[in-house]
Structures are given as C-alpha cells and as structure tokens.
Amino acid sequence: MASSMLYEFRTGDLITISAELIQSICSLSVINRAAPDGHAEIQLAPRKKNRPPTEGTPLMSLSDEAVEAAILKLLEQRASSASVCPSEVARALDRGPGDHWRELMERVRRAAVRLSDIGRVVVTQRGVPVDPRHVRGPIRIRRAE
C-alpha cells in the first residue's frame, strides 16, 4: 500500500524538490526554465502519454475479443490445471517499455468475467473459485474443466 505525505508551506517558504520526484509521483511533466532573476522556475504541465503500439494497435483501442483471446492463448500455453494472473495477460498485450500494461488491468478482469459467464474460464482467489463480479483483491484465471 502506497503511503502519502502532506506538506504545508507558508508563502515565502523555500521548497527544494527534484523534477524526477515530481514526475515519479504524479502525472505531470516538469519544464525547467531560468527565471529573469536567476532563480529556477518550474512549470508543471499534464504529462503526454505516448503509448507504444501493441502489434500495431494502440493499447486502449484493443477489442474486448483481443483481450479475451490473450487470456485463452496464455492458458493454452500452460498445463491444463495452471492459472494466469491478470497482470501476465496485461503484460503480454503491452510489450512496450514502461508500465502501460497497468492501464489494461481492469479490462483483463472484465474479460475474465465474460469468459467465466460463458464457461471458458474459472476465476479463483487463493485457489478457491469465486464470483468474479464480487471479488476484491488478487485473482487468478484458469481454464474451466
């Protein structure tokens, strides 16, 4: 679980923070410029999200069927009793650098629900089958028997 810290500053306080830290904790780009008085001026701007294509398809425009197919393909490559983690599926769909695969996690979970509804997969938690619509926390996906 990520922790958060709140800092309160008064007008006139001097704050030193690195551009790398700002970029690592929020979706902002930092543009450093020299101010006329010689001090550094920092401008924050929304970070542009350059997502690498996955096999020629932008990540968020992948069809639901493509996400379902990725689940089934990974399961086919394993023993019949083996399972996959939704993050494995998301990573398989996003082969680019960075952690853009995280943006696909909810779509993978929804695809697992659809496949469960038609009897193709079973969603488990700690090895026990669960209702994928109501489960919270880590899950695994395995082939239906």
Question: Domain extents for the chain?
Answer: 1-48, 59-143
User: 97-134 pLDDT, tens per residue?
Assistant: 778 888 899 999 999 999 999 999 999 999 999 999 99
Return the pLDDT at 20: 52
In angstroms, rounded to a whole number, what is the distance separating the alpha carbons of residues 94 and 62?
11
Residue 73 predicted with pLDDT over 50: yes
Cβ-proximal residues to 80 (8 Å cutoff; 6+ apart), any chain: 143
DSSP character at residue 52: P
In angstroms, rounded to a whole number, what is the distance separating the alpha carbons of residues 9 and 141?
48
Structure tokens at 46: 């929304």
User: Quick one: which H or E segment has residue 22?
Assistant: helix 19-25
Residue 17 predicted with pLDDT over 90: no
CATH topology classification for 59-143: Arc Repressor Mutant, subunit A (1.10.10)
* Confidence at 14, pLDDT banded by 50, 70, 90: low
